[in-house]
Structure 1
Amino acid sequence: MAGSLVVAGVLGRHAAVTLAAFAVVTAVMNPASAAVAGALRGLMPFVAPHKDAPAQAVPVLRDARWLSLVVGALGALAVLGVPLLASVTGVAAEIVAELGLLPYLLALDVLVLAANGGAGTVLIALGRSRQVLWSSLVHTGVLIGLTLVLVPSWGLDGMGVAWLGAGVAGVVVSHVCLRRALGRGVGQGRPRWREIFRLARVSLPLAGTVLLKFGGLGVVTFAATLTTVTDAAAHSLLGTLTGFTFIASLAVAQASVPEIARAGTAAAARRVNRDAAVLAVGVSSVGGVVLLVFGDALVSLFSADVAVRARVLALVPLMLLASMADAGQAVQGFGLSALKRSGATLGYFAGGYGLLVVAAVPVARVWGVTGLWVALVAVNLLLCVLQGWGFRRHSARVPAAAEVGEAAERA
């Protein structure tokens, strides 16, 4: 996220049309990359039981790589189609002309992410999450360095090279860390279709959930533009700030997956889930309190418009409630994926975000941006309740699942 802020700043100073063109491409690339990452998160419950014997997870990683390459190829095709999509949807000709090589370079980056095979996810599942930090630091450092060097002279093409270079550097580091954790390389074997389908039943619903969330929030952003310029700008800033309050709770939710997957009883699984929920909501609320106390100083870093800043500060309490509810539902959703029941999460999201999509424009027209944030609070609370109920119901089967796993290992 820090690297993305630097990228936005450098592109904005280079030329407004450059930043606009980058936004057009990332509007497609971000959901595509998130879908690949979401699909790879489905690895966790399959890898986590092998914490004490990491090398036994290698066949699972080989299966996952086949699946991630398929999802990555679809995502890359979507990114390659950005110029055509931009032209058809009426994006200004100068912005389309500015795209240059960027869609091709970012499509390659999506493929690199897919070829990574979820190395970071696997390290977390094996209890080596500290090593994930190294690949993130390298990725961010390379991204910032190459952006500062290449964008002033190469423009958007330089941004594409920087993004792809950072992706490759991060993948190399994560693979080195993974090899050390496994004690051997992963390699690539022949596809085991039955095992790939088992992975897909968990991974693909996770990818679908990510796409539903991106799509729903995109509709909310569109609805915000139907209000006033000030409210639309305030909504955009609140969305950025929400990302910073959500990132810690997302990390907590992700870290809880291997612990739940290794739980031997329903009580143990529920205890981990409960502790993760308390921690995630707590860290999310801390971010919101910081905004409440130091809001004016922080918001002034993003906008010099007094009216926009005042509107943001007025909406911070609603943003805090939405973030806390989002943190709670994220933990419950990741808990369901740990139980290999991510299909339930997809169903809950289809219902919750479906209601949000239907209501967004009418709510914006009647109650403005305030109404939109009330709707976000309501949807996140609904998802929290539904997924919490779903987790409790499915976690009751943990002892049976553990017995099946033990029988499989003995066989």
Structure 2
Amino acid sequence: MASPHRILLNAALPLLLTAGAGAVTRLLGTALLGHRSTVQLAAFALVSAVLVPVGAAVSGGLRGMVPFAAACRGRPAEALAVLNDARWLSLGLGTAGAGVMLGVPLIARIGGAPADVSAEFGALPALFAVHVLLSAAGGGANGMLVALGRSRLVLRSSLPSAAVEAVALLLLVPAMGVQGAGVALLLSTALSLTVSNTLLLRLLGGSFLRRPRPREIVRMARVGVPMSATLVVKFTVMGGITYAAARTGAQGAAAHAILISLNGLLGLASVAVGQALTPEIARVSCAREARRLRRAALTIVSAAVLTALLFVGENAARLLTSDPGVLALTVALLPLFAVYALADTCAIVTAAALVGLRSSSWHMLASVTGYGLLAAVMTPVAATWGMTGLWTALPATCALILTLQTVIFARRVRHDH
């Protein structure tokens, strides 16, 4: 077997550039809103807190296809059939998710969001609902390209769409606020889906318009649905943390939004390496190779996060807000944030390994345990210890989940190989 580090890096580097472009545009949007209005930044954070689990449900359903697609390298017709089945699954999830996005104002009222923050939502929930529907209907092309060993082609759709979003943010956010951020995301999504699907059709030929295969969809759902449920649980609880932060005040919500944005930047390696790891784990023939791949992935992402943490400090936070109170709170939380970023990154990579083993149900069990405990304590913790308490609970949760995942991976890899 070739060096696992080389295998993963060759596949992950194009994905890292893709994820990096997306993270930069998200940071740009956060910075523009943060300098425009703290209340608008808080509003954007609250709507995004709902979008993240909804989007995760759709993407989780599509991730379920990767182990099956990885087995289809060199067989274009089978690969297209796998993608078609995955999209029937994601369409159901996306339709439900769009309905949830339209209910954001009600969710905000139930969650106790400040009235001045909720008043800034405007059309943003509706714009995000359309984004979810588009992603469900046309998503999965990039994942298929990665599973087929063509991750470099992902750059052709992702970089132009990120550039379009960045330009749209610069033009629209100063004039439209959070509405402009929503329009920018929608434009980017439409372009990315158009280009990625065009590239996939050129590579494989054929058509996406095929009848569903119920038996194959059920097989895929056994991997994709638990992954969707896991991501929904994780990001729903993380959304709850955002609302708990908002109850400490607009400055707490804004500081939390900045830290979550920075975590997105630090997590680029885990996103890229995790995407590269899943199809490779699915294709290995023995437990030793699977363990080597996971160890290599953890080494790569840990080194990347520790290096990035050297550059994340007060100056990075200052770029995202002009409010002295928000800046001071953000800087005070950075040590806890560093522990959380490292633990979360390693947990994401281990989850990708479990998906490659088609063991996402076990990963769901670990995540439900960790995030269930976090959901139970987040409100009293926020009321008693404020933002410091919340950002102590977050790394503790990730450490617990990572420990459970590691035990599960060791057992499943012996069972499957």
Q: Which of the five TM-score ranges fits, normalised by the shorter chain?
A: 0.7 to 0.9
State the superposition RMSD in angstroms: 2.9
Matched AA of 1:324: L
Query: Deviations for 1:283-305, whole angstroms, at most 9, x for unmatched residues?
Result: 111122222xxx23222223445
1:342 paired to 2:360: yes
SS at match of 1:349: helix
| Counterpart in the other structure of 1:393 | 411
Q: Which runs of 5+ in 2 are unaligned?
A: 1-22
What is the aligned partner in structure 2 of residue 301 from structure 1? 319
1:266 lines up with 2:282 in the alignment: no
Corresponding residue for residue 363 of structure 1: 381
Query: 2: CA distance between counterparts of 1:92 and 1:318?
Result: 26
Does the 8 A contact of 1:18 with 1:95 survive in 2?
yes
CA distance in structure 2 between the aligned counterparts of 1:229 and 1:83, rounded to whole angstroms? 17
Work out which of the residue numbers 212, 226, 250 in structure 1 matches 2:271. 250
Q: Distance in 2 between matches of 1:378 and 1:230?
A: 24
- Could you tell me which amino acid in structure 1 is paired with residue 63 of structure 2? R
Distance 1:307 1:17 in 2: 13
Identify which range, 335-344 or 127-136, moves more after superposition: 127-136
TM-superposed deviation, 1:128? 1.3
SS of structure 2 residue aligned to 1:187: coil
Tell me which residue corresponds to 1:207: 228
Measure how far apart 1:398 and its partner are. 3.1
CA contact (8 A) 1:54 1:126 kept: no
Deviation of 1:107 (Å): 1.8
Whichever of the two has the greater Rg, that structure is 1
Q: 1:355 to 1:398 in 2, by over 3 A?
A: same
Offset at residue 351 of structure 1 (A): 0.6
TM-score relative to the length of structure 2: 0.84
Q: Which amino acid aligns with 1:240?
A: S
The question of whether the paired residues in 2 share the 8 Å contact of 1:123 and 1:181 is answered with: no
Corresponding residue for residue 133 of structure 1: 155
1:58 corresponding residue in structure 2? 80
SS at 2:310 equivalent: helix
Where do 1:147-162 residues align within 5 Å? 147-150=169-172, 159-162=181-184
Matches within 5 A, 1:40-189: 40-83=62-105, 85=107, 99=121, 101-150=123-172, 159-182=181-204, 184-189=205-210
Normalised to the residue count of structure 1, the TM-score between the two structures is 0.85
User: Contact 1:288 / 1:316 at 8 angstroms: preserved in 2?
Assistant: no
Q: Which ranges in structure 1 are unaligned for 5 or more consecutive residues?
A: 400-411
Contact 2:112–2:243 at 8 Å: present in 1 too?
Answer: no
Of 240, 245, 255, 1:219 maps to 240
Residue from 375, 379, 383 that aligns with 2:397:
379
Q: Is the 8 A contact 2:237 2:371 kept in 1?
A: yes
2:309 maps to what in 1?
288
Structure 1 stretch displaced more, 302-311 or 67-76:
302-311
Query: Which residue identity does 2:274 align to in structure 1?
Result: A
Quote the offset at 1:110 in angstroms.
Answer: 1.1
* Count of residue correspondences: 395
Distance 1:227 1:26 in 2: 18
CA distance in 2 between partners of 1:174 and 1:10 (Å): 28
| Alignment CA distance shift 1:20-1:352 (3 Å) | closer
* Higher mean C-alpha deviation, range 67-76 or range 139-148: 139-148
Q: CA 1:22/1:297 → structure 2, altered by over 3 Å: closer, same or farther? A: closer
Structure 2 counterpart SS, 1:290: coil
Give the counterpart letter for 1:56 in structure 2.
Answer: E
